[in-house]
Amino acid sequence: MMDEKDDSYSCENNMRLPICIFFKHARHVFRLDKLGLEIASIAFPAALALTADPIASLVDTAFIGQIGSVELAAVGVSIALFNQVSRIAIFPLVSVTTSFVAEEDTIGRVSAEETLECENLEAGSSVNVEHQQLIAENAGESFDIETVEPGRRHIPSASSAMVIGGVLGLLQAIFLISGAKPLLNFMGISSDSPMLKHAQQYLTLRSLGAPAVLLSLAMQGVFRGFKDTKTPLYATVAGDVANIILDPIFIFVLHLGVSGAAIAHVISQYLISIILLWRLMDKVDLLPPSIKHLQFGRFLKNGFLLLMRVVAVTFCVTLAASLAARQGSTSMAAFQVCLQVWLATSLLADGLAVAGQAILASAFAQKDYDRATATASRVLQLGLVLGLMLAIFLGVGMQFGAKLFTSDVNVLRLISIGIPFVAATQPINALAFVFDGVNFGASDFAYSAFSMVLVAILSILCLFVLSSTNGFVGIWVALTIYMSLRTFAGFWRIGTGTGPWEFLHSRG
C-alpha cells in the first residue's frame, strides 16, 4: 500500500471526521511519490488537451476581432450556443465513459493476472467470475470483458460510447443547422440585429463538425479510462495547430471572414477524430460480438442523471451569455473575451479532475479505500494551489493581454471591469472542477445531478436579479455565486462522509 498509510486520516488528534480528508498530508501536496507521479502523468497531458480547444477558440476570437466588434460579438454568441448544446451531450458521455472504462479495464487486468497465476487450478475460473461481478455490482447488470488478442481487448463501454457519440453528433448537427435562427433569437440576437447574419453563418458551418466533436470526445473518454491522456493530447494539438494555420488563410487570404473561421475549425475536428480512431483501434476491438454486449442500459441509467446536471450547468452559462447579448454588441464582445479566458484557464483544473476520476474509479472498483482517500485529498489540494496560481497570473496578465482580442476602446473598458472577477474566481472554479472528478470517480452520479439542479435554480435567480440591476457587473457577480455554490456542494458531500464516502467515518 502507499507510504501515506502510516499517517492518520485525522487533523491533529486522530479524530475520525470525514472533513479531515481535505487536510490529509497537506504538507506533501507536491511530493512526487507513486501517487503524485500517477496524478501528474494523467493530469498534465489531460489539462493540455482540455485547454487546447479553448485556446484555439481564443485564437479564432483574436483573428475575428481584427475584422470588427460586430463580427466578434456575433461569433461569441455562436460559440457560446454551440459549446453549451455540445456539453449537453459531451459531458455525460465522456464522464460516464471514463468511469466505466476505468472500472472494466481495472477488473479485467486483475482478473487476467489472477487467472494466469491460477491457470492450472480449478479455482482460477471462480476468481475470474468474482472479479467480473465487482463491476456488475456498479453496473446493475452483467457483461463480459474479454481479450481479443494481445494488447487489444473488447471493452463494452468503449463500443457503446462510440455508437452513442456518433448518433448524438448527427442529432446535434441537425438540431443546430435547422434551428440556427430561432436559437440565436433566443440568445438575444434579434432579426434586425447586425450580428444575426454573421452569427448564423458561423453557427451553421461549425455545426457540420458536431459528429466529429462528439466522436472525438467519446474516444477521449475511453483513453482517459485507460489512464492514457497523452494520445488525446497529441491528436488535439495536431487538430488545433491545423486550425490556427488555416484560420488566417480562410479568413484573410480567401476573404471568407467568419465563415472561414468556422470551416477551419470543422476541418480540425475531423482531423482529431481520425487520429484518435486510428490509435484506439490498436487497443480495443470496437466491433462487439453482439448488440447485447453494448452497455446501453448502463449508459442511459447514469447518463440521464448527468444529463440533468449538464442541462442545469449549460442553462446557467448560456443564460449569462444571453443576458450579455441583450445589453448590446459591446457588452457581448467583452463578455465573450472574458468568458473564453475564464473557461480556458479553469479547464486546467479539469486535468486534475480527470486524474482523480480515473484513479478513484479504479480504487473503488477494487474497494481500496486507502488509495481512494489519499487520491481525493491530493487532487483537491493541488486544485486549490493551481487556482491560486491562476488567479495571480490572470490578475496581472489580462491587464496587458486584452488588446490581443480587440482594439475597440469601449470593449476594452468592459473587459477591464470583468478581469477582477475572472481572476478572483479561479480558486473556486478549480475546486469545483476537481470535486466533479472526485464524485464521478466514486460513481456518485445521483448526488452530482440533484445538487447541481438546486445550485442552478439559485444561480438563475441571481442572474436575472443582478443583471437587471447591475448590468455587466451583475452577470459576473452571479457567475461567481454560481461557481461558489458548485464548490460548496462538492465540499458538503465528502466533508459529511455521506454516500460513497461513508467509509471515512471508520478510517482511523
pLDDT digit string, tens, across residues 433-446: 999 889 988 888 88
Q: Which residue has the higher pLDDT, 17 or 7?
A: 17
Choice between 485 and 151, residue whose per-residue pLDDT is larger: 485
Asked if the model's pLDDT at residue 135 lies above 60, the reply is no
Residue of 346, 338, 347, 344 lying closest to 320 (CA atoms)? 338
pLDDT at site 7: 44
Can you give the pTM of this predicted structure?
0.74
Choose between 440 and 304: higher pLDDT. 440
- Average the pLDDT over each of 270-279, 316-325, 469-478 and give the range with the smallest value: 316-325
CB 87 within 8 A of CB 314: yes
Question: Looking at the predicted structure, is the pLDDT value of residue 389 above 60?
Answer: yes
Report pLDDT digits (tens) over 189-218: 878 888 888 888 888 999 998 899 889 888
Give 173's pLDDT tier (boundaries 50, 70, 90): very high
Q: Which of 158, 205, 155 is nearest to 180 (CA)?
A: 205
Confidence of residue 295 (pLDDT cuts 50, 70, 90): low
Question: Residue 412: pLDDT above 70?
Answer: yes
Q: 407: which 3 cell numbers? A: 482594439
Q: What is the mean pLDDT of residues 321-341?
A: 83
SS3 of 64, please? helix
- Read off φ and ψ for residue 119, nearest 5 degrees: -60, -25
H helix intervals, 249-368:
257-283, 296-325, 329-346, 348-365
Q: Is the pLDDT of residue 414 over 70?
A: yes
Q: Looking at the predicted structure, is the pLDDT value of residue 367 above 90?
A: no
What confidence category does residue 277 fall into, taking pLDDT thresholds of 50, 70 and 90? Answer: very high
> Tell me, what's the pLDDT at 114?
57
Section 264-277 average pLDDT: 92
| Chain centroid to CA 441 | 13
Give the N- to C-terminal CA distance of the chain in Å, as an integer.
Answer: 16
Query: Which phi and psi (to 5°) does residue 359 adopt?
Result: -70, -40
- Give the model's pLDDT for residue 235: 92
Work out the mean pLDDT of the chain and round it to a whole number. 80
| CB-facing half-sphere around the CA of 492: CA atoms within 13 A | 11
What local confidence, expressed as pLDDT, does residue 140 receive? Answer: 45
Cell of 437: 472528478
Reported for 466-475, long-range contacts at CB under 8 A and 24+ positions apart, including other chains, are 467/320, 467/323, 471/327, 471/331, 472/324, 472/327, 472/331, 472/334, 472/335, 472/414, 472/417, 472/418, 473/417, 475/320, 475/323, 475/324, 475/335
Residue 394's pLDDT band, with cuts at 50, 70 and 90, is confident
Alpha carbons 257 and 279: distance in angstroms, whole number: 34
How far apart CA 352 and CA 444 sit, in angstroms, is 18
The better pLDDT of the pair 27, 379 is held by 379
Quick one: average pLDDT of 186-191? 79
50 close to 221: Cβ distance less than 8 angstroms: no
Give residue-wise pLDDT tens across range 70-120. 888 888 788 878 877 877 777 777 888 888 888 777 776 655 555 555 554
pLDDT band at 317 (very low <50, low <70, confident <90, very high): confident
* Residue 307's pLDDT band (cuts 50, 70, 90): confident
pLDDT at residue 344, rounded to an integer: 72
Positive or negative, the CA dihedral 176, 181, 182, 187 is positive
Alpha carbon of residue 21 to chain centroid: 24
Residue 175: is it exposed, middle or buried by C-beta count within 10 angstroms (0-12/13-18/19+)?
middle
Least confident of 41-55, 199-213, 222-236, 354-368: 41-55
